[in-house]
Amino acid sequence: MKSRNEALFERARAAIPGGVNSPVRAYRGVGGTPPFLVRGAGSRVWDADGKAYIDYVGSWGPLIAGHAHRAVLEAVQAAARDGLSFGAPTEREVQLAELLKELVPTLELVRLVSSGTEATMTALRLARGYTGRSLVVKFEGCYHGHADSLLVKAGSGALTLGSPDSAGVPSEIASCTLVLPYNDADALKRAFERSGKAIAAIIVEPIAGNMNLVVPDRDFLETARRLCSEHGSVLIFDEVMTGFRVALGGAQARFGVRPDLTTLGKVIGGGMPVGALGGRREIMERLAPLGPVYQAGTLSGSPVAVAAGLATLEIVRAPGFFERVSAETLHLVQGLTAAARARGIVFCAQNVGAMFGMYFRSAPPASYGEVMQCDKSAFTRFFHEMLARGIYFAPSAYEAGFVSSAHTRADIEETLAAADAAFAALARG
């Protein structure tokens, strides 16, 4: 007898390419049938067969307040009652832009869009329009959404499928993207010595979360800042994942480095489709209708989506929020590391705020090359052992994990007990 999950996946594959609307959901990296999720509440999700899981994916980052948080749902319902969309200015979008400006001080002006991809794509166009240059620097293993010029040596889903690039990106476009190793300040200096006058922008995940979790050296980000200032290039921090996830002010607040432009997504929509780009007024004023760089969106600033974002940010900005969720995340990574050590498994884990990385390697990786040295087959085995025990991690060795404020100490302890059993199974071979 087929399970409901299996029957649904079969139907899905007959109607949708690979059965999914975003590739990593298909479990190609780990094998098996993805659970179809029917409900979420707090830290837990339930699949079509009625099995419950403690969720460390959180819709890939947005759900920092947990699933179906009452205040978020009430805000969404109230907004929906007023009408779903107008395609005209509304007060809620102004409130969200004002709140983003208040919480991330480098944002002098903010434009709301509907996804992280739209935010990064627009930020690049804006940087190119502002500088009159074409070349963009990105880093190996960083993912910035699926716009053509950013799908070059991208991490995450593309990497999970074994190819960091995409077919269909013309070589003329790919040749405008210069890919450098992450965390390598010297390579960055050499690139600017060679081509500084042609570089429109550096785009970087200021903490990388799409090749597992890789923490940069402060020197790397400071060098990027200095080189952009010296050469008139635009420094873009892609904080779609790290924004309101690693600290209230994002990675830029943690490192004290000020980008020219910032892209946001995930948490600022609280589970609804919202993205944003913002930064220096002088650059943002180049966007239409003020300037010549065009960008638009039928559903941009959707009142219902924005209501979810506003309610989520009100939760996140409460005093002590980040201290508590970071402490639980730290307890999780320390417990996982100890459980692996006790079973003789080569493994470590680390967190930054409410985001974490797990590595089948003796020390956290500092580069894409080191990420590739992790034992992928051990991860796959661990992933399935945990899934069977009701722990839902991202189905890829290259994704970061996410803890929400709904995760209790009891949830973490339950996860660690499952991990102890999973590591014991790995140790048995």
Give me the phi and psi of 15, to 5 degrees please. -120, -25
Size of the site for ligand PMP (CB under 6 A): 16
Q: Is 2 a catalytic residue?
A: no
Q: Does 117 bind ligand PMP (CB under 6 A)?
A: yes
Q: Which of residues 324-363 bind ligand PMP (CB under 6 A)?
A: none
Catalytic residue among 238, 368, 398, 411: 238
Determine which residue in the list 42, 58, 116, 164 makes contact with ligand PMP, applying CB under 6 A: 116
Residue 211 CA to its chain's centroid (Å): 11
Query: Would you say 238 and 121 are in contact if contact means Cβ atoms under 8 Å apart?
Result: no
Query: Would you say 361 and 374 are in contact if contact means Cβ atoms under 8 Å apart?
Result: yes
Closer Cβ to ligand PMP, 115 or 329, answer by number: 115
Provide the residue type at 302 as one letter.
S
Q: Does 241 bind ligand PMP (CB under 6 A)?
A: yes
Stretch that binds ligand PMP, among 71-79, 123-131, 138-146, 304-312 (CB under 6 A): 138-146
Q: Which residue is nearest to ligand PMP (CB)?
A: 116
Query: Would you say 107 and 263 are in contact if contact means Cβ atoms under 8 Å apart?
Result: no
Closest residue by Cα to residue 149 from 133, 165, 163, 162: 165
Task: Sheet with 355-359: list strands edge to edge.
Answer: 348-352, 355-359, 401-402
CA distances from 35 to 46, 176, 291, 400 (A): 9, 40, 47, 19
Determine which residue in the list 5, 43, 106, 120 makes contact with ligand PMP, applying CB under 6 A: 120
Stretch that binds ligand PMP, among 2-10, 28-36, 116-124, 291-299 (CB under 6 A): 116-124
Q: Does 144 bind ligand PMP (CB under 6 A)?
A: yes
What residues have CB less than 8 Å from 251, skipping those under 6 apart?
A: 206, 207, 237, 239, 242, 352
Q: Does 143 bind ligand PMP (CB under 6 A)?
A: yes
What residues have CB less than 8 Å from 76, skipping those under 6 apart?
A: 272, 304, 307, 308, 311
Stretch that binds ligand PMP, among 86-94, 143-151, 280-288, 420-428 (CB under 6 A): 143-151
**Cis ω for the linkage preceding 289 (within 30 of 0):** yes
Q: Is 101 a catalytic residue?
A: no
Catalytic residue among 53, 56, 130, 143: 143
Provide the residue type at 356 as one letter.
F
x/- mask, ligand PMP, residues 162-201, rule CB under 6 A, reads ----------------------------------------
Closer Cβ to ligand PMP, 23 or 232, answer by number: 23
Query: Would you say 191 and 342 are in contact if contact means Cβ atoms under 8 Å apart?
Result: no
Q: Is 238 a catalytic residue?
A: yes
Q: Does 145 bind ligand PMP (CB under 6 A)?
A: yes
Residues in touch with ligand PMP (CB under 6 A): 60, 115-117, 120, 143-145, 205, 209-210, 238, 240-241, 265, 275
Residues marked as catalytic: 143, 238, 266
